[in-house]
């Protein structure tokens, strides 16, 4: 008997988990989520390319043909969320909907990889294929239509997905609120505590604003269930606990940065990355460079630190 690939299943939702490789193996997975209305079928994210067999099986388990898929809704451009875009586009003819800000990366796998893995010279040692490109299929599935906060994707029968911007982890990230079941689907603004890498954010101020925004949304919209890409579904209280832990993890990154610059005047970017990762027992890798750079530039703009001869010092 073939084991089911469907995890959470409730109301219009059915999730499919796909294990992640490398440092994530055995620790975290990514999830794609089917949403069924009376008229239309949508899929939120396409997952990692190695998870394509599970995605194919999910269609069969749901009693659907790939051609039944109407919409592919993208939360953001990262490789573990767009890995099967090309296959889905070819097999289903679905309309791909996503945020405009990173549409060019969704349309070009190599651009997607280089702009983040090799964003800094200190990340050039990381292999693009194993770190990023191998997570995506050989054919891209570009965004056909952009969506913005407040837009509603109507699937019929009262199943409506309202778009919510949740920027910070990616500056093009969105979530979806299903009004009838009061369920919120978000991918990566709130990452699980078991995540083996340092919290990834592109702007610490916007990341914190998004934490606050999600917390308000949970209350104001009387959300009942929160579905995540890398975690099990949670109720509001559990989600607020996770939210506060995410706040603490971002704070810890910034506390580490200032402490290590203070005790090691002139410290280089890569060494600062290593020390900050070690403080939280996280893997020393390219994602951490993105977060540390974001906070360094914010501190620099506030006059707290300065860059001098390739190293960092406290401004005072």
d(CA 255, CA 261): 10
Supply the DSSP symbol for 172: T
Query: Per residue in 181-212, pLDDT tens?
Result: 999 999 999 999 888 999 999 999 999 999 99
- Return the pLDDT at 39: 97
Helix 286-301 with 236-263: angle, nearest 10 deg: 70
Over residues 282-288, mean pLDDT: 95
Over residues 265-289, mean pLDDT: 96
What number of other Cβ atoms are within 10 A of residue 180's Cβ? 12
- Return the pLDDT at 194: 87
Please provide the average confidence, as pLDDT, over all residues in the chain.
96
Query: Per residue in 88-139, pLDDT tens?
Result: 999 999 999 999 999 999 999 999 999 999 999 999 999 999 999 999 999 9
Q: How confident is the model at residue 300 (pLDDT cuts 50, 70, 90)?
A: very high
Query: Per residue in 212-229, pLDDT tens?
Result: 999 999 999 999 999 999
Query: Per residue in 18-48, pLDDT tens?
Result: 987 777 776 678 999 999 999 999 999 999 9
230-252 burial, b at 16+ Cβ within 10 Å, e below that, comes to: bbebbebeebbebbeebbebbee
């Amino acid at each position: 008997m073939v084991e089911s690939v469907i995890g959470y299943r409730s109301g219009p939702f059915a999730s499919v988990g796909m294990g992640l490789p490398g440092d994530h193996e055995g620790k975290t997975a990514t999830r794609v989520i089917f949403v069924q209305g009376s008229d239309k079928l949508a899929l939120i994210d396409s997952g990692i390319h190695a998870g394509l067999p599970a995605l194919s099986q999910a269609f069969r388990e749901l009693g659907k043909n790939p051609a039944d898929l109407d919409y592919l809704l993208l939360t953001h451009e990262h490789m573990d969320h767009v890995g099967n875009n090309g296959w889905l586009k070819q097999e289903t003819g679905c309309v791909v909907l996503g945020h405009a800000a990173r549409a060019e990366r969704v349309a070009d796998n190599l651009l997607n990889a280089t702009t983040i893995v090799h964003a800094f010279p200190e990340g050039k040692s990381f292999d693009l294929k194993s770190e990023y490109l191998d997570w995506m299929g050989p054919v891209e599935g570009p965004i056909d239509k952009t969506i913005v906060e407040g837009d509603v994707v109507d699937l019929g029968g009262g199943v409506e997905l309202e778009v919510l911007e949740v920027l910070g982890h990616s500056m093009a990230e969105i979530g979806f609120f299903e009004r009838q079941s009061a369920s919120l689907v978000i991918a990566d603004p709130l990452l699980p505590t078991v995540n083996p890498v340092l919290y990834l954010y592109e702007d610490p101020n916007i990341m914190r604003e998004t934490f606050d925004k999600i917390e308000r949304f949970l209350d104001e919209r009387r959300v009942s269930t929160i579905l995540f890409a890398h975690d099990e579904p949670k109720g509001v209280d559990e989600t607020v606990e996770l939210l506060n832990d995410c706040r603490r993890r971002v704070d810890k990154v910034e506390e580490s940065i200032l402490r290590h610059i203070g005790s090691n005047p002139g410290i280089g970017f890569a060494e600062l990355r290593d020390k900050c990762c070690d403080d939280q027992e996280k893997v020393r890798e390219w994602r951490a460079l993105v977060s540390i750079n974001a906070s360094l530039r914010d501190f620099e703009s506030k006059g707290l630190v300065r860059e001098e001869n390739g190293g960092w010092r406290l401004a005072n």
